[in-house]
Amino acid sequence: MLILTDGEKRMLDGRDGKARRKAMQLLVRYAEALGAERFVDTRNVAGVPGSANPFLQNYYKDKSRDGLDAIFSHFDLDSDELVDVPPALVPTFHLQGGADPTAWQTLGVKVDVFRNHQEREAFAAQHDVGILKTCTPYLAGNVPAKGEHLAWMESSAVIYANSVLGARTNTEGRESTSAAMLTGKIPDWGLHRTEHRFGTHRIDVELDVSSVMDWGMLGYFVGDMVQERIPVLQGRFTRPDIVRLKHFGAAASSSGGVEMYHIVGVTPEAETLETAFGPKHPLEVFQYGRDEQRRVYDRLNTTGVDAAVDFVMLGCPHAAIEQLREAAQLLDGKKVSGNCHLWIFTSRAVKSQAHDEGITKTLGDAGAVLLTDTCSAFAQAVPPGTKVVALDSAKQAHYLPAILGVQAWFGTTRDCINAAVTGRWSADPPWQ
Amino acid sequence: MAVTATIVLRGRKVVGGRAEGEALVTRQTIPGWGGVNPVQGVITETQHELRGVSFKDKVLVCRGAKGSSGWSAMYHTARLAGTAPRALVFNEMTTKIALGAVVMRIPSVTDFDRDPLDIIDTGDWVIVDGDRGLVEVVKRTATQI
């Protein structure tokens, strides 16, 4: 049974305005659906408030004179009544969305659609929402502290915040983050509670997992095995850095619904195997060896048939500065093939740093395009006529063929850049 | 003898209301953003056993939800497009499926006394009473008892 504080009751009664009342009503319906008993306060919300795809834009076009308040009222807050939207009550950030503000035409975005993106960005900014426009807020200025309660969307950011940073958030959705933005409340359920953060499954890594690609494949395997449970990894691996952890988590939250993992001796709630499991015992133990790696590799390359590659996309999740440096080194003095395009996605924050370091120029001289705000899967944008893509992200290889019906090859960043330069996929599996 | 069996499952209310329809059953988790076309009401994930199958007006019986945080927004969009399922029957509670059920505004039940995946087959007629947490299953095919 859900118990409300006086402050929560005041919002629900409408004494803090109509919009907060609608937000609280939605959060109560959501908490009751979960079976939560209370709310937890949050001062760190990451969502996509007020954003809209063409379907929603069109659906709400005639609902009121102010389409943006209508989208926020009816869709974000699931309210039948139109309300005036006040500014964010607690610090709130906008994740990826829209189109690159300078290179939107490259993404094939029409001018009227771009204007809509700009209007929605202005709406968010006017409501005190920080414009990060990235799936990697933790690389762009929003780095939560250990134990901090968040209301975050974006599965790859949620898994990073819980596992690597020790912050606490469930995978929130569009509606729950927008409601949290106006109330500073989110159901105290799941990963907000210590007893639900312990490991459930053990993964014995029997293979030296070291490259970014290795960690992506391991993440894809783990997600498939444990679905939405909490895996604890131990065994033979080279200590992972930020880029590897980012790639691992994104893969695990795509093939399954993993929102938290432990790596013994690496992540903050897993100093030892015993602390990672707490009072629990593993429900199952899975081995990850050569055979498992082969199966993952084959699955990620299921759709890859033709060697002629039209398009290479890097930066899923959005590239860290280290990844842009690596791409620039691999491309230095080379040119992207006339039969191929190379797009690299990152955050506005990292792009700004890349510009100052001269990386953007090196990439541009080679014919690569550095883009922000979105990615090919999210924007459903690839160069015209694209049939075969090369990707270094297990997450993108999971989504892009399903979304756009293209063939996908999955390999290392170096394999992908070779494909961009030669126009052909010629990478061997990692065990050859 | 052969009879058309009616079975009643008892669970917990997720979203109230009452609806009935033909069951669409999968032991797999249901994908959200990037694995579903909400305007058409069809699962699109490359390796999903329901790929190309429509959930419009079905009683969706599944393990739970998976994947992107865009889950609720996708199924919310399906509601607006008129392609949403009529009811949800599932085993594993997550924030994705809870919020998705809420914004689809369809009767939904979980935490059953018996596993609905062992009892309900695609094509069975299912009546979901969200407020009472009851799911009544009318088997499509006669059962030998």
* Single-letter code of the amino acid located at A248: F
Question: What is the band of A217 on the pLDDT scale with cuts at 50, 70, 90?
Answer: very high
What's the pLDDT score for residue A68? 76
Chain A residues touching residue B84 (CB < 8 angstroms): none
* Residue A320: strand, helix, or coil: coil
The answer to whether A301 contacts chain B (CB < 8 Å) is no
Cβ atoms B28, B14 nearer than 8 A = no
The answer to whether A189 contacts chain B (CB < 8 Å) is yes
Length of chain B: 145
The whole-chain average pLDDT of chain B stands at: 93
What's the pLDDT score for residue A168? 98
Min Cα separation A34/chain B (Å)? 6
Q: Which residues share a beta bridge with A149?
A: A168
Residue A52 falls inside a structural domain: yes
Active site residues of B: 68
Among A155, A175, A194, the domain-final residue is A194
**Is residue B6 scored above 70 in pLDDT?**
yes
| Strand stretches in A265-351, DSSP E | 284-288, 311-319, 341-346
The tokens for B116 are 């609905």
Claim to verify: residue A130 and residue A69 sit in the same structural domain: yes
Residue A431 falls inside a structural domain: no
Look at A190 and B95 and tell me if their CB atoms are within 8 Å.
Answer: yes
Claim to verify: residue A397 and residue A330 sit in the same structural domain: yes
Cβ atoms B21, B59 nearer than 8 A = yes
Claim to verify: residue A115 and residue A70 sit in the same structural domain: yes
**Is residue A431 scored above 90 in pLDDT?**
no
Report strand pairing: A92-94 vs A185-187: unpaired
Q: What is the number of structural domains in chain A?
A: 3
SS3 content of chain A, % helix, strand, coil (to 5): 40, 15, 40
Claim to verify: residue A209 and residue A111 sit in the same structural domain: no
**CA distance linking residue A159 with residue A252, whole number of Å:** 9
Cβ atoms B15, B101 nearer than 8 A = yes
Phi–psi pair at A158, nearest 5 degrees: -60, -50
What's the pLDDT score for residue A180? 98
Length of chain A: 432
Give tens-digit pLDDT for A376-418.
999 999 999 999 999 999 999 999 998 899 999 999 999 999 9
Look at B64 and A189 and tell me if their CB atoms are within 8 Å.
Answer: no
Cα-to-chain-centroid distance, residue A289: 27
Claim to verify: residue A29 and residue A139 sit in the same structural domain: yes
Percent of chain B with pLDDT over 90: 84
Claim to verify: residue A59 and residue A93 sit in the same structural domain: yes
Cα separations (Å) of A261 from A150, A159, A163, A224, A397? 17, 7, 5, 13, 22
Residue A428 falls inside a structural domain: no
Q: Which of B102, B110, B112 to mutate to test the interface with A (most CBs of A within 10 A)?
A: B102
Instruction: Count Cβ neighbours within 10 Å for each residue of A303-337 and write b for 16 or more, e otherwise.
Output: bbeeeebbbbbbbbbbbbbebbebbbebbeebebb
Chain A residues touching residue B102 (CB < 8 angstroms): 26, 29-30, 33, 78, 175
Question: What is the band of A331 on the pLDDT scale with cuts at 50, 70, 90?
Answer: very high
Q: How many C-alpha atoms does A317 have within 13 Å on its Cβ side?
A: 34
What's the pLDDT score for residue B33? 87
The answer to whether B11 contacts chain A (CB < 8 Å) is no
**Is residue A432 scored above 80 in pLDDT?**
no
Cα separations (Å) of A339 from A71, A336, A389? 41, 8, 12
Among A170, A194, A218, the domain-final residue is A194
What's the pLDDT score for residue B45? 86
Look at B95 and A401 and tell me if their CB atoms are within 8 Å.
Answer: no
What's the pLDDT score for residue A379? 92
Q: Which domain holds residue A345?
A: 301-422
Residue A136 falls inside a structural domain: yes
Cis before residue B38, ω within 30 degrees of 0?
A: no
**Is residue A61 scored above 90 in pLDDT?**
no
Look at A175 and B103 and tell me if their CB atoms are within 8 Å.
Answer: yes
Give tens-digit pLDDT for B103-145.
999 999 999 999 999 999 999 999 999 999 999 999 987 655 4
What's the pLDDT score for residue A63? 66
What's the pLDDT score for residue A66? 60
Report which of A390, A317, A325, A392 is spatially closest to residue A361, judged by C-alpha positions: A325
Percent of chain A with pLDDT over 70: 99
Give tens-digit pLDDT for B16-41.
999 999 999 999 999 998 889 999 99
**CA distance linking residue A306 with residue A388, whole number of Å:** 7
What's the pLDDT score for residue B3? 61
Cα separations (Å) of A142 from A131, A135, A137, A323? 11, 11, 5, 19
pTM of the model: 0.95
Give tens-digit pLDDT for A166-182.
999 999 999 999 999 99
Claim to verify: residue A181 and residue A119 sit in the same structural domain: yes
Question: What is the band of A19 on the pLDDT scale with cuts at 50, 70, 90?
Answer: very high
What's the pLDDT score for residue A65? 56
Question: What is the band of A256 on the pLDDT scale with cuts at 50, 70, 90?
Answer: confident
What's the pLDDT score for residue A64? 58
Question: What is the band of A218 on the pLDDT scale with cuts at 50, 70, 90?
Answer: very high
Claim to verify: residue A40 and residue A176 sit in the same structural domain: yes
Claim to verify: residue A294 and residue A273 sit in the same structural domain: yes
Q: What is the DSSP letter of A81?
A: S
Percent of chain B with pLDDT over 70: 94
Give tens-digit pLDDT for B113-122.
999 999 999 9
What's the pLDDT score for residue B81? 97
Claim to verify: residue A89 and residue A138 sit in the same structural domain: yes
Q: Choose the weakest-confidence range: A35-49, A52-66, B56-70.
A: A52-66
Q: What is the CATH number of the domain that holds A358?
A: 3.30.499.10
Report strand pairing: B143-144 vs B2-3: antiparallel
**CA distance linking residue A402 with residue B75, whole number of Å:** 17
Residue A429 falls inside a structural domain: no
Cα-to-chain-centroid distance, residue A247: 10
The answer to whether B130 contacts chain A (CB < 8 Å) is no
The whole-chain average pLDDT of chain A stands at: 96
Residue A427 falls inside a structural domain: no
Q: Which residues share a beta bridge with A369?
A: A343
Look at A257 and B96 and tell me if their CB atoms are within 8 Å.
Answer: yes
Which residues make Cβ contacts (< 8 Å) with residue A405, sequence separation at least 6?
A: none
What's the pLDDT score for residue B5? 80
**Is residue B2 scored above 70 in pLDDT?**
no
Q: What angle do CA B36, A151, A181 make, to 5 degrees?
A: 100
What's the pLDDT score for residue A297? 97
Among A179, A194, A209, the domain-final residue is A194
Q: Which of B36, B68, B75, B83 to mutate to test the interface with A (most CBs of A within 10 A)?
A: B68
Residue A183 falls inside a structural domain: yes
Question: What is the band of A15 on the pLDDT scale with cuts at 50, 70, 90?
Answer: very high
What's the pLDDT score for residue B105? 98
**Is residue A38 scored above 80 in pLDDT?**
yes
What's the pLDDT score for residue A58? 87
Look at B77 and A228 and tell me if their CB atoms are within 8 Å.
Answer: no
Claim to verify: residue A90 and residue A100 sit in the same structural domain: yes
What's the pLDDT score for residue A229? 94
What's the pLDDT score for residue B1? 52
Residue B1: exposure state from Cβ atoms within 10 A (0-12, 13-18, ≥19): exposed
What's the pLDDT score for residue A60? 87
All structural domains of chain B: 2-144 (3.50.30.10)
The answer to whether B93 contacts chain A (CB < 8 Å) is yes
Look at B73 and A172 and tell me if their CB atoms are within 8 Å.
Answer: no
The answer to whether B71 contacts chain A (CB < 8 Å) is yes
Chain B residues touching residue A75 (CB < 8 angstroms): 73, 76
* Residue B35: strand, helix, or coil: coil
What's the pLDDT score for residue B34? 85
Claim to verify: residue A276 and residue A356 sit in the same structural domain: no
Residue A333 falls inside a structural domain: yes
**CA distance linking residue A172 with residue A152, whole number of Å:** 6
Q: How many CB pairs under 8 A join A and B?
A: 116
Across A31-35, A401-405, B47-51, the highest mean pLDDT is recorded for A31-35
